[in-house]
Amino acid sequence: MALPQENLIPPSPSHNHLTLSLRSHIGGFFIYNEDVDSVDLSKLNEAQKQAVTAPPKPLAIIAGPGSGKTRVLTYRALFAVKEWHLPPERILAITFTNKAADELKERLGRLIPEGDRIFAATMHSFAARMLRYFAPYAGISQNFVIYDDDDSKGLIEDILKQMNMDTKRFRPNDVLNHISAAKARMFDCNTFPEFIRQRYGSWGYYFDTVHQVFMTYERLKEQSQALDFDDLIMVLAQRMEDRPELREMIAGLFDLVMVDEFQDTNFAQYQMLLYMTNPHYSGMNNVTIVGDPDQSIYGFRAAEYYNIKRFIDDYNPEVVFLDLNYRSNRTIVDSASALINDSPSALFERKLESIKGAGNKLILRRPFDDADAAITAAFEVQRLHKMGIPYEEIAVLMRTRALTARVEREFATRNIQYHIIGGVPFFARREIKDILAYLRLSRNAMDRVSLKRILTMKKRGFGTASLEKLFNFAEENKLTLLEAMKAAVESLLFKKLSMNDYLESLYTLIQTIQEIAEPSQAIYLVMEQENLLDHFRSISKSEEEYIERTENVKQLISIAEESADMDDFLQRSALGTRENNGGVEGVAISTVHGVKGLEFQAVILYYVTDGFFPHSLSVTTAEKEEERRLLYVAMTRAKEHLIFYVPYKQPWGNGFEQMARPSPFLRSIPKELWDGKPNEIESLYAPYSPQQKWSE
């Protein structure tokens, strides 16, 4: 989509100005007016005013949680329009999400009629738009198509098959992740070996094969005039680096560039902005970044919070700290500050302050095990609700989605409204529904939905036509679906022998399940006979997603073991998948990543134990410090009530539990900020015993 022509027209000069900046390469200019009386700044604190009214030159705003950064961005844009006389369309605001972009335009639109004309976009949508508009200068086709992750994965899978490679060893998702990681660091297919040696220190057959796939992948994309998501950023950055006229034209479109959530940018995104906004590379010099290195939690997406330090080194900006918190009470702010100030990787020494009073102390709960934790969490929510807190102002936050199962079930049992942020309910997740389909069919031989799911979850040759053929065959012969499967095999209903063979195998499996009383044993049987672990690996886009799916399966088995029988288990499962009538009404259940930017009156932090905070997969110091920042983000979502659940045992799957140790991060919080039993508070600070054993 091309930019509107008016976006290329420079603003008109004003006769009342003190500073004139002439852009000779586009003939444009803007006004810097020191008289700020026309913008009402009475609602801003001193640091916010400093950030809003800073001169039109590089500015770094280090904004702590709840410090009003969106208001500051909005008012800085307003100030640019009112005092510098910039047309809103010459202001570029790059945000982390489309929702944030829309919110910024809406806020500015409420302040000035033309405010919604600000150019607000995500990093990828901005890059795509620039490449499309300046395609001839970038040396690419203006009609390029964009491959999403599924398109890229499918293409890589085809390449691997053409190379006769084992897709279990060379998983398409893993190959794609290596390619994506390289592009995030500005390495293309030609320099990929250098990237791998820098990252892993070695090179072998595996990476040599990935390199061949990478080369073929790029060649086929080029033939198709296609760019993937990572290309949008890297190609634009490369073209601006190599072609001065391109970066001058892009820089000439804007008189102010603002970038939100700067701590979540990767290296390629930083380079793209550098070539566009740094006076060393272009005529642009008015750029504002907003970020908080302490809230950088997307390292697994190649985000580098160190980009804030790079910006300070490369731009020598004015730096403004927003450390006055308007969201949380003083106890919550002090505890979060203590946590983050213990980080050895902190870029700045800071002290967050709250405008509120001390408020409630941190509440410590130490339930016995997973079942006890879910029950007490439900009672906790009911207690908070009776205090007058709406369900919508309560959140239960956890490190992984696998922990939501029992919480969802307890909430459903007690008619507590809830909704899942950033995901679907536990019993509605793909891997769970896949397994439950076999069990449901064993109890209802007329269950068309379950049979359809089973026959189509893998490539078995069953499509719309063959399914209708089987269903019609059952109806015409007045057979149950289970009986129809057996009869279809005997009559060779399908020409493909493999389809008949699978129906025979499935018929036998369902019959066997019907004889099993314990649902957990049925799940084990289905998993083994249908080889579902390999299936879940094949549908996972990353190793992290695959691990999450397997953790969900383990959780399902644990729940099944607690059920009286198969019918009880299936009934409870069905209850857990019910829709909440209010849509997004009710208690929020979410991972911490899912609530970035949100806030609640009360927050329950579920399983603040070693193994979840930090996660057991976090091994390096950098990974563990990101886990500390993740807990910091979780704590600072709360306004008034912050409750920590630290069970003595935590789930380990398959009916086993692990002795749970409190998160080592909790030691950073001063003891006087806690409200709980003295011995339980002391247990948070007890030294760990390396001889501590697992228990069943």
**CA–CA gap between residue 692 and residue 696 (Å, rounded):** 13
Q: Is 260 a catalytic residue?
A: yes
Tokens of 425: 């309910």
115 in a known ligand binding site: no
Say whether 63 counts as a known binding-site residue: yes
- Buried-state track 98-119, b at ≥16 Cβ within 10 A, e below 16: eebbebbbebbbeeeeebbbbb
**28 is an annotated ligand-binding site residue:** no
Residue 409, judged by CB atoms within 10 A of its CB (0-12, 13-18, 19+), counts as buried
- Residue of 23, 53, 57, 70 marked active site: 70
Place of tokens 């849509």: 583
* Catalytic status, residue 89: no
Residue in 89, 174, 260, 625 annotated catalytic: 260
Catalytic one of 107, 637, 649, 661? 637
> Is 70 one of the annotated binding-site residues?
yes
Annotated binding-site residue? 64: yes
70 labelled catalytic: yes
671 tagged catalytic: no
Dump strand ranges (E) for 343-489. 353-354, 362-365, 394-398, 418-420
- Consult the annotation and say whether 67 binds a ligand: yes
By C-alpha distance, which of 8, 52, 82 is closest to 251? 8
Among 95, 238, 288, 295, which one carries the catalytic annotation? 295
Which residue in the list 83, 261, 323, 380 is annotated as catalytic? 261
Q: Is 65 part of any known ligand binding site?
A: yes
221 is in an annotated binding site: no
Whether residue 623 lies in the annotated active site: no
User: In terms of DSSP bridges, do strands 656-659 and 649-653 run parallel, antiparallel, or are they unpaired?
Assistant: antiparallel
Length of the chain: 696
| 567 annotated active-site | no
Contacts of 508 (CB under 8 A, 6+ apart): none
Angle, alpha carbons 297-299-300 (nearest 5°): 110
- Contact yes or no for 20/37 (Cβ under 8 A): no
Determine which one of 49, 69, 429, 572 is catalytic.
Answer: 69
- Distance (Å, rounded) from C-alpha 343 to C-alpha 349? 10
Q: Hey, what amino acid is at 636?
A: T
Query: Is the Cα torsion angle 335, 341, 342, 343 positive or negative in sign?
Result: positive
Q: Does a cis peptide bond (omega within 30 degrees of 0) precede residue 317?
A: no
Whole-angstrom distance, CA of residue 442 vs CA of residue 566: 10
Write the DSSP symbol of residue 227: E
Which residues does the annotation place in the binding site for ATP? 63-70
Which residues does the annotation place in the binding site? 63-70
Catalytic residues: 69-70, 260-261, 295, 637
